[in-house]
Amino acid sequence: MLYGFCRGSRVAIVTTILVGTASPDVLAREWVVHRQHEAAADGNEGTKSAPLKTINAAAQRAEPGDIVLVFGGIYRERVAPARGGVSGRPIVYMAAPGERVVIRGSEQWHATWHQVPGSEEILRAKLDPGLFAGQTRNPFRTLLKCSPGGSRLTLGQLFVDGRPLREVSQWSALAANRATWMAEPGGESIVIHPPDGDVSLEQRLVEVAVRHRIFAPLRRGLGYIHVRGFIMEHCANQFPDHFWQSDSPQAGALGCRAGHHWLIEGNTVRYAKAIGIDCGYEGPVDLDGRQPTPRTTGFHLIANNIVSDNGCCGIAGMRSEQSVILGNVIERNNTNGHTAPEAAGIKMHHFVSGRIEGNLVRDNEAYGIWLDNTFTQAVISRNVIMNNRGSAVLIELGTGPLQIDNNVLCGTRATLDSSLDQADGLATLDASRIQFVHNLVFGCRRFGSFHRQATNRHRAACSDLVLRNNTFDDNDAGHVNLPYPGPTAIGNRVEGNLFGRPGKYLLNPWGGASASLLRSFMEKTPTEDFELNDRHMPRMSLAQWQQMTPGVSGNVEEVCAVAVAPQELVLTLSIPSDVELRSRMNAADAIPGVDLLGVEYAKQNAVIGPFQSLDHGRNILTLWPLPSRDLSPFK
């Protein structure tokens, strides 16, 4: 069992590391790794006085119940545990308290740089083949799948003094922009437009990414592995293009390798070419050998990590059953600028009985949280999801049930794909049985909440959607766009919400045969009573919408004022004195819970939105760090 509670901006995990009862006659041991120790060697006994030099050396020896304790330094290696733990006896990999332990997928490159003829600033150097010794491929020769915008990017990465330089594939882009680089055809040499500075590249730290994993077993399906307190960076991994059927699996810098019962806590995972952390079954193809996909994957706890600046996705997983993603900061991902699917702060497929709670998901160049193709008994709760490209939360293809509660969704921006104008707070596509309750949605570039049937992938494509006790404000295209009731849009309810400015509500025909019903509705209603948007959908007032649409009732429209200071993560919310703040729902329809700031509330008389402390007038609320909250055991 795993028990946790929020403390400050992090979630302190009180782990009953021993799940079950360990045999008293089996003694665990500690393996010490300290590469900077004068006596360090991989042939040592792994003690404090005779430590190992590499983490992977300890990973080959550690047995269930052992602890691998790593002291400070930069470790350039792939850590590939030879075995997992067992129930009650995990294998724990942890940075020693107070130590900065960095594991890099890069090697230092001591190059001889030559000026490119005809340019005063652009330099060229030949890559040393020895940099890739022991690797399955030279990443500078391997193209990145689904390179955005017609570019031809590679898996390679280049860092100068710890700063990532941007890869380009056109000479004109290289010449026009400092801190850029390009692999020449064949991947044997690099041309670079160096960052500003008077120091020559020979005198600076230059690193090139060479490894396609940083911490991941070679063997699939290992369980009960704990990873704590590391910085992992500079991975040369591939974009997971059609990973469910291709030879390009979900492979993060830190990867569970289709394993189970992992605890990933307090790490920083950044600067991967594609995915930061993967926690699912990866896909049918195994990059490290012809191993089948294990039947049991998931049961992970991913907590307190910083997952940032990765090329595609922060956290990704398919078939990660009963996993919890808790208290992480997930920011600035999709640095490659992918417009293809699989780019998000968090992207999960087949997320069964899982929970995403208490995370800060911001400034990603992609969707914030995206659940795709099955989300049965899942929960998205108490997250701050702000300033992402595309929708804050996208739910696609499934019949739930799914509960989304007590989140702040705000500041969505236009997607990188100009043909896909999807920048809503909550967007659902071919998805049903979703409860969206006690959320605050504001400042979205498109709709606060948008629901449609996009394909015929299942029958009730947009049904049993419940929006209750939410606050919407300042969403550009309108607060809610809902299918007109029809054969594939059944049982939708929008009740007891508080709508601020501007008051716009739309009906759409994307519910299969409901298109004809919407046309019938429009024919019966004088056109001067409502506007038509550019897709001929009626844009209605709240009174019209509630009168004409079954399941829409009890909502209130008032002038509110919501603003957020993005750096300080402080929210200002002003409520007029005559607004009824308490829920108007019957107790039978209400859902008890815990608000964003950790305050429990019952079914009756709960305050609308994610803040139970909300009062009339000007409210100033700190969104992050989150205050303490006890969590029930997650089994």
In the predicted model, what is the mean pLDDT of residues 428-442?
97
Q: Are 209 and 246 in contact (CB under 8 A)?
A: no
pLDDT of residue 3: 32
Task: Name the strand (E) or helix (H) holding 308.
Answer: strand 306-308
Give the whole-angstrom CA distance, residue 271 versus residue 635: 32
Q: Are 331 and 310 in contact (CB under 8 A)?
A: no
Burial 432-451 (b: 16+ CB within 10 A, else e): bbbbbbbbbbbbbbbbbbbb
Sheet with 617-622, side-by-side order of all strands = 561-565, 570-575, 617-622
For tokens 């993560």, the residue is 569
Amino acid at 545: W
Closest CA to 224 of 413, 45, 88, 28: 88
Residue 401, token pair as written in the block: 């049930």
pLDDT of residue 9: 42
Please write the tens of the pLDDT for every residue from 265-279. Answer: 999 999 999 999 999
Please write the tens of the pLDDT for every residue from 204-217. Answer: 999 999 999 999 99
Burial 534-564 (b: 16+ CB within 10 A, else e): eeebbbbebebbbebbebbeebebbebebeb
Give the whole-angstrom CA distance, residue 274 versus residue 568: 29
pLDDT of residue 633: 41
In the predicted model, what is the mean pLDDT of residues 186-194?
95
pLDDT of residue 6: 41
Give the whole-angstrom CA distance, residue 193 versus residue 178: 5
pLDDT of residue 512: 54
Superfamily of domain 15-105+217-319: Single-stranded right-handed beta-helix, Pectin lyase-like (2.160.20.10)
Sheet with 180-183, side-by-side order of all strands = 114-115, 123-126, 189-193, 180-183, 166-167
How is the chain split into domains, by residue range?
Answer: 15-105+217-319, 108-209
pLDDT of residue 13: 47
Confidence category of residue 460, pLDDT binned at 50, 70, 90: low
The whole-angstrom distance between residue 378's C-alpha and the CA centroid of its chain comes to 16
Q: Are 143 and 160 in contact (CB under 8 A)?
A: no
Name the CATH code of domain 108-209 (choices 2.60.40.1180, 3.40.50.1700, 1.10.730.10, 2.30.30.100).
Answer: 2.60.40.1180
Provide the percentage of residues in the chain whose pLDDT is more than 90: 77
Q: What is the DSSP string of 566-621?
A: TTTTEEEEEE-TTS--B--S-TTT---EE-TTS-EE-STTPBSSS-TT--SEEEEE
What is the 8-class DSSP label of residue 54?
-
Residue 11 has pLDDT above 70, yes or no: no
Residue 7 has pLDDT above 70, yes or no: no
Looking at per-residue confidence, does 119 or 332 come out higher?
332
Q: Where is average pLDDT lowest: 27-36, 70-79, 307-316, 578-587?
A: 578-587
Residue 632 has pLDDT above 80, yes or no: no
Confidence category of residue 435, pLDDT binned at 50, 70, 90: very high
In the predicted model, what is the mean pLDDT of residues 247-261?
97
Looking at per-residue confidence, does 617 or 148 come out higher?
617
Q: Are 250 and 316 in contact (CB under 8 A)?
A: yes
pLDDT of residue 526: 59
pLDDT of residue 19: 35
pLDDT of residue 114: 96
pLDDT of residue 413: 95
In the predicted model, what is the mean pLDDT of residues 389-396?
97
pLDDT of residue 626: 87
Q: Are 627 and 6 in contact (CB under 8 A)?
A: yes
Closest CA to 600 of 408, 440, 406: 406
Residue 351, token pair as written in the block: 């997320």
pLDDT of residue 417: 84
**CA distance readout (Å), 133 to 69, 130, 235:** 28, 5, 16
pLDDT of residue 548: 80
What is the 8-class DSSP label of residue 292?
P
3-state DSSP assignment of residue 425: coil
Please write the tens of the pLDDT for every residue from 327-373. Answer: 999 999 999 999 989 999 999 999 999 999 999 999 999 999 999 99
Please write the tens of the pLDDT for every residue from 472-514. Answer: 999 999 999 998 888 888 999 999 999 998 788 988 877 655 5
Count of helices and strands (H, E) across the chain: 4, 55
**C-alpha neighbours within 13 Å on the C-beta side of residue 113:** 18
